[in-house]
Amino acid sequence: MARIIFDLDGTLIDSAPDIQAVANGVLGAEGYSPITLEQTRSFIGNGAPTFVARMRAARDIPDSEQDRLLTAFKIGYVSAVELTVIYDGVVQALNTLRDQGHRLGICTNKPFAATEAILSHLDLTPLFDTVVGGDTLPQHKPDPAMLFAAADALGEGPVIFVGDSEVDAETARRADLPFLFFTEGYHKTDPASIRMTASFDSYADFVELVAQTLPKS
């Protein structure tokens, strides 16, 4: 059976509204105007430090404030769960894959504590055999070390990585692994420019796409 590893934000869940709320809480406490949902989506993908750096740049906040605002952002991030939703068809697809004997993992640049919190809130924790967060290792995506760590934790078998962004595509490229691209997530460029094995816009046919991607025995 296969090891199927998923990105989280923009791939399995739409968490942008919660992330926006946390960001705007931090900005508001500092006297700055809020960022939009569109800006929030465009800042997601490279982990919390990069998100905060992009948020600061959007409001001309100096670099010297990075660490302090990142700390405040991370504190809010852990409890930011109420506005996040699971994409349609995800739970059914994940359960079907598990029933087929596949092992599932998460590889996300989201901080580990925030990842655990949202998975628990959405009752997704039991579906995954391993979770690698953005601060689990010194490296984060697109460095493939996170993806390799998740794969190693899942044992043996072919590996597929599933994500929604340019960062995920580059991670898969560096790891030399098949990449299934979810087009409805937080990508920032034309999907035609993204290196992928295949793409999908709905989880309705995802299980079949996995079967098509796996090596034929």
How much is the pLDDT for 217? 65
Paired tokens of 81: 């769960």
Three-state DSSP class for 63?
helix
pLDDT in tens, the chain (217 residues): 999 999 999 999 999 999 999 999 999 999 999 999 999 999 998 899 999 999 999 999 999 999 999 999 999 999 999 999 999 999 999 999 999 999 999 999 999 999 999 999 999 999 999 999 999 999 999 999 999 999 999 999 999 999 999 999 999 999 999 999 999 999 999 999 999 999 999 999 999 999 999 998 6
Distance in angstroms (rounded) separating the CA atoms of residues 178 and 198: 9
Is the separation of the CB atoms in 203 and 187 below 8 Å?
no
Which ranges of the chain does DSSP label H, i.e. alpha helix?
16-29, 37-43, 48-58, 66-78, 90-99, 112-121, 145-153, 166-175, 206-213
Catalytic residue among 7, 18, 164, 168: 7
pLDDT of residue 166: 96
**CA angle (207 as vertex; 213, 100 as ends), nearest 5:** 100
7 is catalytic: yes
Domains and CATH numbers, the chain: 3-14+84-213 (3.40.50.1000), 16-78 (1.10.150.240)
Which position has the token pair 């029933």?
99
Strands 198-200 and 179-182 turn out to be parallel
3-state DSSP assignment of residue 124: coil
Dihedral of alpha carbons 122, 126, 127, 130, sign: positive
pLDDT of residue 45: 87
